[in-house]
A = this chain, B = another copy of it.
Amino acid sequence: MVQYSQTLDGTFSALSDPTRRAILERLGRGPATIGELTEPSGMSLTGLGKHVRVLEEAGLVTTEKLGRTRECRLGPGRLEDATRWIERYRRLWECRLDGLEGYLEKNRGSKE
């Protein structure tokens, strides 16, 4: 349970930055070197490398040294836990809404 919770912390934290989300979207189209990943934002290699490390720690990206470059690709983390958590939350929300509708319906009925 603690393990699961820490994984979620890392996943949601990794996703909370627009540069990191853009890296994941780019890698969804195929592997890229750190240098190629800096192109759209013009960010430095060091700055970009830090974001890649956060994604790597969350299991969302893997990297491999190839000669003088480092190639990045999507990692094994497929966001199942994050999706499951969000879906459970949405169901709770919808139950609350249904409850509220029922209450309003009942109150309307009693006034008529």
Contacts and interface: CB of A to CB of B under 8 A. Distances in A.
Interface of A: 5, 8-13, 15-18, 21, 24-25, 28-30, 74, 78-79, 82-83, 85-90, 92-93, 95-96
B28 A93 contact: yes
Given A5-B18, A96-B74, A89 B12 contact: no
A27 to B, nearest CB: 8
B78 A25 contact: no
Contacts of A87: 83
Identify whether the interface residues of A are mostly helix, strand, loop, or mixed.
helix
A78 B96 contact: no
Q: Which 9 A-B pairs have the closest CB atoms?
A: A28-B92, A12-B16, A13-B16, A12-B15, A5-B18, A12-B12, A79-B86, A9-B16, A83-B86
Contacts of A88: 25
